Amino acid sequence: MDINKSEFIISAVKPAQYPNDNKREIAFVGRSNAGKSSLINAITNRRKLAKTSSTPGKTRLVNFFLINDILYFVDLPGYGYAKVSKSEKKNWGKVIETYLVNREQLKKVVLLVDCRHKPTNDDVIMYDWIKYYNYEPVVVATKSDKVSNNQLFKNMKLIRQTLGMEKHEKILPFSALNKKGKEEILEVIFDEE
């Protein structure tokens, strides 16, 4: 399935603002700068649907996008950005946690990891979290255009090992630059259609 309609709905500060029409939701999480907003733009074929930036910390609220009128993409603030104050970090953690706990409509959580780096402690915590709350984890190794195929293969193995992924769980390479891996991601996202 392709995405032919995508619409920004709301940047939610609090849960009362989340959409409540019971459409299913796919959330995108990961370190700040991992490429969450870029991935959303790439797979919706929209250059500026989600705000991106080379300065980490661009996404600070819970952003909902209505996709093909049937489900929501949820762009979450990134974690692990060193240059923010402790209180701000705490606040971001709260924003993410408030959304992720007991969100019945949430079907899958896509965890983005920069394919050049070993997942951090925060990534491992995030992955464990997704599993703990019984959401289906989908791991995406981003920025594949920045490494050779050989390196990508090696790093994906390292990502799998570091997160402690189970065999049946998916890890998908992706580049927002050349859109390699887009079809596979769409397939996973729409597999309930």
What is the binding site for ligand GTP (CB under 6 A)? 30, 32-38, 52-54, 56-59, 77-78, 142-143, 145-146, 175-177
Measure the CA–CA gap between 59 and 128, rounded to whole angstroms: 23
Query: Which CB sits closer to ligand GTP, 32 or 155?
Result: 32
Query: Which CB sits closer to ligand GTP, 59 or 71?
Result: 59
Measure the CA–CA gap between 191 and 20, rounded to whole angstroms: 23
Residue 145 binds: one of Mg ion, ligand GTP, none (C-beta under 5 to 8 A by kind)? ligand GTP
- Report CA dihedral (45, 48, 50, 51) to the nearest 10 degrees: 150
Query: Which CB sits closer to ligand GTP, 19 or 56?
Result: 56
Query: Which CB sits closer to ligand GTP, 86 or 167?
Result: 86
CB nearest ligand GTP: which residue? 78
- Binders of Mg ion among residues 30 to 89 (CB under 5 A) are 36-37, 58-59
Burial 141-155 (b: 16+ CB within 10 A, else e): bbbbeebeeeebeeb
Q: Report yes or no: 140 and 39 within 8 Å, Cβ to Cβ.
A: yes
**Residues within the interface to Mg ion (CB under 5 A):** 36-37, 58-59
